[in-house]
Each structure stands twice: as C-alpha cells, then as structure tokens.
Structure 1
Amino acid sequence: MPIEKKIYELKQSILHKAFKGVLVPQLESDGDAMDLLNEIEELKINIVGNAKNVSKRK
C-alpha cells in the first residue's frame, strides 16, 4: 500500500475517533455537542452585535 494511502487512512481514523469522543476521557462537565453548538451560536451573536455597535460609533 502506498504511503500516501496509509497517511490518508490514518487521518480518517483519527478524525473518526475524535468525533466519537474516544481519544480522551470525557468529563461530565464537558457537556454534549448540542451544548457546544449553542455556546458557539451565542458567541457568534455577541460578536456580530458588538461589531455592529463599533461600526455605528465611527
């Protein structure tokens, strides 16, 4: 098997494990994916809101 194919398969394997959450132990304080998505959405809304406020001051 060519080295490029092995590297590609290794990357895919690592990504798969990362998305399954098996690379590191999961803590209860980590929450789940929906919690993280909600937190990201709130941060995005705050950033966009702050950017609009800054542009209005100029």
Structure 2
Amino acid sequence: MGDNGDGGGSTGVVAILVIFIIIVVVVLFAFRGRLFGGGGTKINVNVQAPAAPAPAAPAPSR
C-alpha cells in the first residue's frame, strides 16, 4: 500500500505562507495607493505673514 502521510504537513505550511504573502501584497498595494495620491487629501502650504495693523490715529488735543 502507498504512504498517504508523505508531505501532508508541508502542504499546510505552504498554504499558510501563500495566504500570508497574499495579505502582505494587498496591504502594500493599499499603503502605496494612499501614499502616492490615492487619497483625496491635499495639503495647502501657502503660508502668508499676517498684515501689519494700521497705525492708530492720534488723539485730538483739547
């Protein structure tokens, strides 16, 4: 009779490794999509100094 137990354990290990690799690839694609313009977030870097206040009018003398 043939040996049915040959390689049964390694098949499970290979299946787990394949699932793990697929998960890693999906996460990397999702992360890369968000990192390089996939998200709609835009940052405005146009920074302006506040305007100087107008000088106060002198108080009328009495």
What is the TM-score of this pair, normalised by structure 2?
0.43
Q: Which has the higher helix share?
A: 1
Which of these two proteins has the greater Rg computed from alpha carbons?
A: 2
